[in-house]
Amino acid sequence: MLDRLSRDIEALLFATDRPLSIDELCELTGSGEDSVSQAIERLKAALEESGHSLVIAEIAGGFRLMTDATHGETVAQLFEDRRPGRLTRAAIETLAVVAYNQPCTRAAVEAVRGVNCDSALKSLLERNLIRICGRQETVGRPLTYATTEDFLSYFGLSDIDHLPRRREIEEILSTGMPAGQDSDLFEENRG
């Protein structure tokens, strides 16, 4: 039988409409961090042991009860007509660049991808996977973009810092973003 704390946590993780962090769970249950962590472990074990279709996922900085992937096809039927489609390649590439460079301007994304990214940015904004987060203090004060919590949930990431590290990207970006093709081509001629 599950203890009271595990039951409380289970109820919270079911009823919430966003992931709940350990801190929030401590406050909501009036328990300490260790007790809460242990209760989560007991809950995980109980769900697994009796073969339920539910799992505790750690995403977007918190915990949430979710169906396990083996039931995806069955459950997806419920949302058939309102589930957004997979992202386009342009959108997912644009998202990758924003995720690794945030906050980041449209021009910076376009410098990496070598193509216009207007419509990709627009569709990402509409799906709330990126947001406008400010302006860059350079000429023209362009808008900057960053990823959202929905981005983390959408890809099952627990934290933006948990994106896999990429050496090439870090090396190249640390020496400055590449300029756009246009400027590459024409600056030589001017010089």
Partner 1 sequence: MSADACRISLDAFEGPLDLLLYLIKRDELDIYQIEAAVVAEQYLEYIRKALELDLDVASEYLVMAATLTSMKSRALLPASRGQEADEIGEAEALMRQLVLYKAFKEIAQDLRESEDLWRNIFPSAGERERWSADSPPAIPGQLTIIDLLTALEELSAPADKAPDQRISRPVLTIAECVEELGGKLQTGVWTTLSALTGIGFGRSRIVGFFIAILELVRLGRLVLRQRRPFAEIEVLRTEFW
Q: What is the arrangement of strands in the sheet containing 104-105, beginning at the earlier edge strand? A: 104-105, 143-147, 130-135
**CB of residue 176 vs a copy of itself: minimum separation in angstroms?**
8
3-state DSSP helix/strand/coil % of the chain, to nearest 5: 55, 15, 30
Site string for partner 1, 116-135 (x = CB under 8 A): x------x-xxxxx-xx---
Binding partner 1 (rule: CB under 8 A), the pick from 97, 108, 144, 145 is 97
Q: Cα–Cα distance between 144 and 36 in angstroms, integer?
A: 38
> If binding is defined by CB under 8 A, does position 138 make contact with partner 1?
no
> If binding is defined by CB under 8 A, does position 157 make contact with a copy of itself?
yes
Q: Which of residues 89-128 bind a copy of itself (CB under 8 A)?
A: 110, 116, 118-119, 121-122, 125
Q: Which of residues 38-67 bind partner 1 (CB under 8 A)?
A: 57, 64-67
HSE at residue 29, side-chain half, CA atoms within 13 A, is 27
N-terminal to C-terminal alpha carbon distance within the chain: 77
- Taking every pair of Cα atoms in the chain, the longest distance, rounded to a whole number of angstroms, is 77
Binding a copy of itself (rule: CB under 8 A), the pick from 26, 46, 56, 92 is 46
**CB of residue 115 vs partner 1: minimum separation in angstroms?**
3
Whether the Cβ atoms of residue 34 and residue 42 lie closer than 8 Å to each other: no
> If binding is defined by CB under 8 A, does position 161 make contact with partner 1?
no
Q: Is the peptide bond before 103 cis (omega within 30 degrees of 0)?
A: yes
Total residues contacting partner 1 by CB under 8 A comes to 79
> If binding is defined by CB under 8 A, does position 191 make contact with a copy of itself?
no
**CB of residue 100 vs partner 1: minimum separation in angstroms?**
6
